[in-house]
Amino acid sequence: MKNNLHLSSEVIFNSGITRGVIIDTIRRELFYIDNSFIRILELIEKDSNESFEKMVKLVPLPELHKFFDFLVENELAFYSKGPGEFKRIDTSWEIPLEVINGIIDIDTDFSFYEKALSEFEKVDCRELQIRLFSDLDLTEFQKLVTIINQYEFHYVEIHLVKNSYIPEEEIRRVIENVWFVTNILIYGSEDNKIVRVINDTGDYFQISLGTISYLKQSLKQNGCGSISQHTFTWSKDNIRENISHNSCLNGKISVDRSGYIKNCPSMAKNFGNIASVSFRDVLNNNEFRGLWLINKDKINICKFCEYRKICTDCRAYLDNPDDIYSKPLKCGYDPFTARWEDWSTNPLKLKAMSVYGLV
């Protein structure tokens, strides 16, 4: 090699059982390649003097040059004059938070709502999802919003069931006035659409304060956990987290509609009721934290999948409900055939679906 070839810092790659994939995290593009070229990418990443000789042993020289041209054309890699100029960025993951996000489910019982918010604030949880399963009237909704406004979060999204008591103006007002509430989702709507709450700034580029998402689907406890290409993550920070941790449960605490503390509200196992147990006690529980460390390399079938670094996970609905290391039930991808299919029509999943009340 005349010049040194370097992979862009925004590019990651991964091998699967049938094929490999190069992921451009900035442009959100995937490039499928043969697994032998994944080995070439590993050698490029190593950037040692012997790398090129090893590459030629793996792939014929004309093919190798074609591959280099492909990388450069797609801006996945670039040449530099001197060796060692561009070191790869460390892929280890750390975050100065113990709890990353939380979920509060509320049905008709609001009694634990304030206690839950206070517990989330105590453990410095910054991102929160509040799911309201019952038909609230305007006064109840305003009360819930007034209470949350007394706390300090970075991001809050509210999931609501559509009803005639809460007008759209009120929902818009919440996004405009409650600084950290930026997304409100309304289930059971007539259409699927997203309405942006925007301040009109004349000729300037419009700044979105948040969104109201209208969804035809109904808000159901067992409606969670669907995995598709649309739930892939493209953030380098999340990808680093996924490599060593569970992409859904890591740093998550949830309170279900009866006030029980869980990893996820859809899971059966609880760690006590919020009325008597603090989040601090639960965070000290090894069983609770153990699920945070189930990464895709430990999950059956997922460990053979080329998407495992960018995919999200679900431990609540499993192909085999008795095996915590089983593949997510609501994933329709088969890495052995490299095909996406509708998971809900797969006859092999019927037994598990009946266990979770999905049929």
Where do contacts with another protein occur on this chain (CB under 8 A)? 8, 27, 75, 78, 100-101, 103, 127-129, 131, 152, 154-155, 157, 159, 179-180, 182-183, 185, 192, 194, 199, 201-202, 204-211, 213, 215, 217, 219-220, 223-228, 230-231, 233, 235, 237-238, 241, 247-248, 252, 264, 312, 314, 330
Q: Which is nearer to another protein, 20 or 349 (CB)?
A: 349
Sign of CA dihedral 232, 234, 235, 237: positive
Give the nearer residue to another protein in terms of CB position, either 56 or 216.
216
**Smallest separation (angstroms) from another protein to the CB of 230:** 3
Cβ closest to another protein, residue 134 vs residue 231 = 231
Positive/negative CA dihedral, 317, 323, 324, 326: negative
Residue number, 36 or 80, with CB nearest to another protein: 80
DSSP code for 88: P
Least separation, in Å, of the C-beta of 152 and another protein?
A: 5
3-state secondary structure of 147: helix
Least separation, in Å, of the C-beta of 304 and another protein?
22
Q: In this complex, which beta carbon is closest to another protein, that of residue 251 or of residue 259? A: 251
Q: Measured from the CB of residue 207, what is the shortest distance to another protein in angstroms?
A: 5
Structure tokens at 30: 């995937």
Q: Which residue has the tokens 């859904």?
A: 248
Helix (H) or strand (E) holding 13: strand 11-15
Question: What minimum distance in Å lies between the beta carbon of 101 and another protein?
Answer: 5
How far is CA 102 from each of CA 195, 242, 263, 266, rounded to the nearest angstrom? Answer: 25, 18, 9, 13
The Cβ of residue 138 has, within 10 Å, a number of other Cβ atoms equal to 13
Going from the C-alpha of 81 to that of each of 49, 84, 87, the distances in angstroms are 14, 10, 14
What gap in Å lies between CA 342 and CA 344, rounded to an integer?
6
Q: How far is the CB of 224 from another protein (least distance, A)?
A: 5
- E-strand spans in 25-126? 29-33, 77-80, 101-106
Nearer to another protein, 15 or 117 (CB): 117
- Provide, rounded to whole angstroms, the least separation between the CB of residue 36 and another protein: 26
CA of residue 316 relative to chain centroid, distance: 14
- CB of 15 or CB of 263, closer to another protein: 263
Question: Which residue, 20 or 264, has its beta carbon nearer to another protein?
Answer: 264
Report how far residue 129's alpha carbon sits from residue 253's, in angstroms, rounded to the nearest whole number.
11
Beta carbons of 201 and 208 less than 8 angstroms apart: no
What's the residue count for the chain? 359
Quote the least distance from Cβ 179 to another protein, whole Å.
6
- Torsion, Cα of 123, 242, 76, 69 (10° steps): 170
Q: Cβ closer to another protein: 224 or 283?
A: 224
Half-sphere exposure of residue 224: CA atoms within 13 angstroms, side-chain side? 17
Nearest distance from C-beta of residue 175 to another protein, angstroms:
10
The β-bridge relationship of strands 181-187 and 193-199 is unpaired
DSSP type of residue 327: P
